[in-house]
Chains A and B, each alone.
Chain A
Amino acid sequence: MMQLVAIGLSHRTAPLTLRERLLFRADELPGALAGFCALPHVAEAMIVSTCNRVEIYAAVSDVHAGTLEIRRQLGEARGIEPETLEPHLYAHEGAAAVRHVFRVASSLDSMVVGEPQIAGQLKDAYGAASAAGALGPTLHRALHRAFTVAKRVRSETSLGRGSTSVSSVAVELARHVFGDLSGRRVLLVGAGEMTALTARHLQGDGVELLVVNRSFERAVALAAEMNGRPRAWDELPDCLLAADIVITATGSPKPILEPDAIARAVRARRFRPLVLIDIAVPRDVDPRVGDIENVYLFDMDALEKALARSLTERARHARDAEKLVDGEVARFIEWAAAQTAVPTIKDLREYFMRVARAEEERLLHDLPALGAEERRKIRLALDAIVGKLLHAPLTALKDGEAQAPPDLAGAARRLFALEAASARPTGRAREAAAPERDDAEKS
């Protein structure tokens, strides 16, 4: 029976210098895939090659040998010595490999958990392997399921939602007040590193930027860089009337925005909400400003608090997603096992029934004087013997496959020479039971 393995390295295990040496370009994939599929124990292969991971997913007939071959081939294909590569490689097999594929597809293994690109990259890799004819039933099944799992994670959990930095949390807070930020005016007070960083998080939202700075040249420079408009320092009060969001980070030792000025501005603004994000230390905005109606003031303390909350949320979403993936792995393993157990159960039962019918035929031939009732009883007895003998092994095959021991179905096929038996349309029991073929394990 074919086993799924996942072998490779990622941002978790290998530095960028090694990852970029191992990277496969799209035009190299067909050749590389053919190389992997030509390995003696490898039947199917797929290469995932992104800037964060290079992985080979493969179906192998022998886990140990197949894994070794793939590891060796990976180094050879890229001209990397084993001692450099080996310490960074991981290899998953069976259920662990399924889990790994599902987690990668769902973006749980990504550098930025929940980032959306990986599902597309995985689909491209799948497409390339499919085009190269490197896929078979094992990888088809696992990858199809992985894409479904990724879709479920996307639609049923909030994985990856929420902010991871002070700047993005500031933007999120503004969204809690305004909703959609497009068309809103954002005023940057102080043309430093921090305001620029926060403003960058707003750029995709279609906001209008105003930049005020004590030195006008810096305001002009930052405005040009951010596609905003510079304003002179003494225009600050007017800018407060126009802006919806104010991000302030000046080096001023004293607050530059006092309650009186803000209260006046709020009245002049006809109580339109004003979000003040004060990322300066010492603070640029007098804390009493936060008490003014329709003014929402967030200083570093508040932002840190919101960030902590957001990070806890993200961890919670990730746990939801992991739980979902765990459930899917268990279901997949069970399903895959049933896929191999079902034909075996059928073959085994047919084989036993064939033996019983053959013996019945012979017996009836030897005893032609029997009446219909006796014939029926003999048949029932034979059926009952088959049923009772098969009960325990069939139950074990049905239930036992989900857990270890590995490959019960394979063992059963080999023990009863099912390949040989089912190859013959009919036959005598003695012949069928003869242990003659060794290729029975190849199913």
Chain B
Amino acid sequence: MTTSLFAAAASLYALAAALYFAFLLGTRDRAAGAARIVLAAAFTLHLAEIGALCLRGEHPVRNAREVLSLASWALCGAFLAATLRYRIAAVGCLVAPATLLLLLGARLAPTAASGSPGWPAASRLVGNAHIALATAGIAAFALAAASSALYLLAEGQMKRRRFGVLFRRAPPLETLDALVHRSVTLGFPIFTLALLLGAVWTAQRGDASLRPEYVISIATWCSFAALLVARMTAGWRGRRAAILALAGFAACAAVLAIYVARGPLS
């Protein structure tokens, strides 16, 4: 059943992505509304699939590649939530394909990391919370990054006075900037908490080694902290904020990539 749920969710993600591109390149606005409905359906099926896998014991805590699936689901959810407030259909051109690729990556890559042993019951609660929060934080940062990328592209066109497809279909620059800011302000406290719980979890397991992902995680935290502080004090926004948000996301994506490639912890 999980296979058919996965296939259905992936197909709907692909359809949503196609509809978003139809909106971007075409003249009809209805494609955006249709894309959102299809994306919401995919999101629901994806949740069902994650739930079914959890019942089988293949959950994010045991299997790092499940984290990838969960993160893509959370990104999609964050985007859908944002569409309730902002008219940002063009961002869907980045989010829908990204969600699809992450889901495919989680399901189709060889399952080297699966079957890694569980952790002692005492630390499982902390571990669960750490993974759930880190995933939510990454999803928020991913949405900020998607919005930033679109901002940089649209702003570049505007500055060079090239009134192309993006100029026509991208949301107003201020909307994109607001979305970057909102996603970061939402993601930052969640990510901070995840980081702290991660430290506690590591200490509980008596692991004193300094791994590269710890360093990169702290770099991620620092770049988003810098972004928030610079915005509050010096009013950094627009292009600078977008670049910094992209850099921060690249760092936390690297952490995720390390976990997925190697498995959580042996």
B172–A177 contact, CB under 8 A?
Answer: yes
Question: Does B59 reach chain A (CB closer than 8 Å)?
Answer: no
Question: Does A175 reach chain B (CB closer than 8 Å)?
Answer: yes
Residues of B within 8 A of A305 (CB): 161, 163
Question: Does B238 reach chain A (CB closer than 8 Å)?
Answer: yes
Q: How far is the CB of A251 from chain B (nearest CB, A)?
A: 25
A270–B235 contact, CB under 8 A?
Answer: yes
A273–B240 contact, CB under 8 A?
Answer: no
Residues of A within 8 A of B163 (CB): 305-306, 309
Closest to B234 in A: A270
Chain A binding surface SS class: helix
Question: Does B259 reach chain A (CB closer than 8 Å)?
Answer: no
B236–A179 contact, CB under 8 A?
Answer: no
Question: Does B10 reach chain A (CB closer than 8 Å)?
Answer: no
| Residues 85-101 of A contacting B (Cβ, < 8 Å) | none
Question: Does A302 reach chain B (CB closer than 8 Å)?
Answer: yes
Looking at A269, A271, A290, A309, which has the most chain B CB atoms within 10 Å of its CB?
Answer: A271
Q: How far is the CB of B90 from chain A (nearest CB, A)?
A: 12
Question: Does A158 reach chain B (CB closer than 8 Å)?
Answer: yes
A176–B172 contact, CB under 8 A?
Answer: yes
**Complex Cα–Cα for A293 and B172 (A):** 17
**Complex Cα–Cα for A157 and B27 (A):** 7
A290–B159 contact, CB under 8 A?
Answer: yes
Residues of B within 8 A of A313 (CB): 27, 168
| Residues 119-160 of A contacting B (Cβ, < 8 Å) | 155-158
A158–B237 contact, CB under 8 A?
Answer: no
Count how many chain A residues have C-beta atoms less than 8 Å from C-beta atoms of the other chain.
Answer: 28
**Complex Cα–Cα for A179 and B170 (A):** 11
| Residues 155-212 of B contacting A (Cβ, < 8 Å) | 158-159, 161, 163, 167-168, 170-175
Question: Does A283 reach chain B (CB closer than 8 Å)?
Answer: no
1/0 contact string of B144-160 vs chain A (CB within 8 Å):
00000000000000110
Residues of B within 8 A of A293 (CB): 238-240
**Complex Cα–Cα for A39 and B209 (A):** 100
Q: How far is the CB of A155 from chain B (nearest CB, A)?
A: 7
Question: Does A272 reach chain B (CB closer than 8 Å)?
Answer: yes
Residues of A within 8 A of B168 (CB): 313
**Complex Cα–Cα for A317 and B26 (A):** 10
**Complex Cα–Cα for A273 and B154 (A):** 14
Q: How far is the CB of B133 from chain A (nearest CB, A)?
A: 31
Closest to B28 in A: A156
A294–B238 contact, CB under 8 A?
Answer: yes
Assuming A290-B159, A293-B240, A313-B168, is B174 touching A179 (CB within 8 A)? yes
**Complex Cα–Cα for A305 and B162 (A):** 9
Top 9 nearest A-B pairs (CB, nearest first) are A270-B235, A179-B172, A302-B161, A309-B163, A294-B238, A271-B235, A177-B173, A178-B174, A179-B175
Interface contacts beyond A179-B171, A270-B234, A271-B235: sample of 6 additional A-B pairs, CB < 8 Å, sorted by A = A158-B28, A158-B29, A176-B170, A271-B234, A301-B161, A320-B27
A-B contacts, 24 listed (Cβ < 8 Å): A157-B28, A158-B27, A177-B173, A178-B173, A178-B174, A179-B171, A271-B234, A271-B235, A271-B237, A272-B235, A273-B173, A293-B238, A294-B239, A296-B158, A296-B159, A298-B161, A302-B161, A305-B161, A306-B163, A309-B163, A313-B27, A313-B168, A316-B27, A317-B27
